[in-house]
Structure 1
Amino acid sequence: MMQFQVRKDDLSNHRLVEADAPDLADGEILLKVDRFGLTANNITYGVVGERIGYWNFFPPLNDDDGRWGIIPVWGFADVVASNAAEVPEGERLYGYFSMATHLVMRPQKVSETRIFDGSKHRSALPPVYNSYVRLTGQPDYDRALDSARMVLHPLYATSFCLHDFLTDNDWFGAEQIMVISASSKTAIGLAYALTDDERAPASIGMTSARNLDLVRSLGLYDTVLSYDEIEAVDAAKPTAIVDMSGSGSVLSELHAHLGDNMRYCSNVGVTHWSEFGPGPGFIRERSHMFFAPGHIQKRAGEWGKGEFEKRALAFWQSAAERSNDWLTYETTEGLADIAGLFDDLRDGKVSPHTGLAVTL
């Protein structure tokens, strides 16, 4: 088996580690990861890994100094060995995997459609990440949609949650919604939801100068501005911010510009990971990290069993179909060739209109 590992404190430092596949204990299964998606969301996992606990999902091999970690990815895997009677060899699963060729799991709560990984080191982690969809035998499963599912499903699930969060809080009294890093896929998913919601305030997409034309071509935001056009934002209007960038300088300048009319800032991602961290002018008391699994758990309790999944799935399917107009998928073969791809993604060199898939 092979793992792609990164230094927890330096995402530019990474390595491949190989070892023999471990012997399975009773109740365990061995999965061979078949393919997974790579997006800016994976960079966010690395940047906030210590704070949120993303490093705890998949223990790295040969980590003597405790400084190496494995960034989680969304994808597909097949059961190649099983000591768990309820999950036979040949099963295919969709869910949260390590950036590796193989993974050992301990299935629990096995139903016809899902299993949960009950491995001890994952027991305190958010349930949504420990849940896997059983695809084998599902009549509506189409492998041709694997790329869209592993690239867009986790991002658009967050988009769905963000829209629901904003509406649940009556838009925080805002008359305009600013979406920072408007070219990111999660931002575009949110823009779909805002466009479809006649109750939604006006939307402003903010992006880099190089992505202005791309974002404007989507026709989703009422206004599109570059990062050097903050002064053009109407500071007289109450504003809610949804930030995918993590750029301390942009947020600090924007907060200072809006002042009291900066009603709420939802910090979601860190596409500008090297600029992560607030600076002068940042309004901390009205800024909070958005954690989609927490919102999912809240809604699951309020809406009842399966209702969140039903609504989120319908949104993802609609948004993914619309995304075919602007999104192109590129595939890389093998874990050994992933280093350059990861570096380009980390450094913001991948076009927002490209979906990255890795097959093993």
Structure 2
Amino acid sequence: MANIICAHVDKAYGAVNVIRDFNLEIEDHEFVVFLGPSGCGKSTLLRMIAGLEEISGGEVSIAGRTVNDLEPRDRGVAMVFQNYALYPHMTIYDNIAFGLRRMKVEASEIDRRIKTVAATLGLEPYLARKPTELSGGQQQRVAIARAMIKTPRVFLFDEPLSNLDAKLRNHMRVEIARLHQSLKTTTIYVTHDQLEAMTLADRIVLMKGGAIEQVGTPAEIYERPRTLFVAGFIGTPNMNFLDVTARSDGETWLLEGDGQRFRVGRARFAIEDGQALTLGIRPSSLSVAASPEDRENTLCGLADLIEFHGDNALVSFRVGDREIGALVPATGQPARGAAVAFSASEDNLHLFDRTTGLSVLRHRS
């Protein structure tokens, strides 16, 4: 097993710098997810760690050893790609064995390892079949088995589930989580799917434009987003945002904008008088207002769209030029066109400086 350290890592293609001063330490046995939109650099970074891309600057070390100049095969890593990359003319057994045969491992040892990984991944019934005879999820399990059989120090997954349908993605996500619990191999997993990140990760590295936007546990990133970008990226349905301006009002701050008024205490937020802010509220944090006539900390409008989500319904309405969503129990959803009023407690409000995009939530002592 191994820890991984990226120190001041850069990657440039000519004059274009796609990774800038990337610093991260991944602990032994940890499952870390690189998350972010397309083009943020997460797959490029993974490929640098794997040795498939040259590092323009900085240093990558695995288990205390600098690997910048090592070939991929010498780094102790195994990578699972979005494309299964199985040999169609070979059986599943031969696909899994291929890498070990190239390494001149004895046939008896190969057979022992294949039986072990096949049992772990439920592939025993398929070893004599060809890849075309398997489903997408089964083929991805074969790709994982081919990586596992090398007993690597580090697993690297590059969007391995993006080619699967929703049901198979859910199934394979659970299998990958169980596999990690069993093997405890240090793992880096790249995805743009926040559900995969939130359910699999010990820690999430959320990236934007080749740099780290926030690192934390799924709960930390969801509950205390450090920037406006993080708040908008994490969470389904998306967080609601309103532009407000802060005004001192005795022992509280009054936040006003788009015809709305929110009052918050001074202890939770580090605010200055007159500061331009963006207020964020998650749809799940809005509840039907007990007193719709009380206009503070309450959002009112006409329900113009109802989305049925099973147990819940997403009610959309407009506040000024912003569309607001509130997640309510499906049994209590309003009719389209009905007047609605939703309130939120101070504990569920997020505030970001409108200039810097940084959260103004005070750090916990």
Give the TM interval when normalised to the shorter protein.
under 0.3
TM-score of the superposed pair, with normalisation by structure 2: 0.23
| Higher-strand-fraction structure | 2
TM-score of the superposed pair, with normalisation by structure 1: 0.23
| Higher-helix-fraction structure | 1
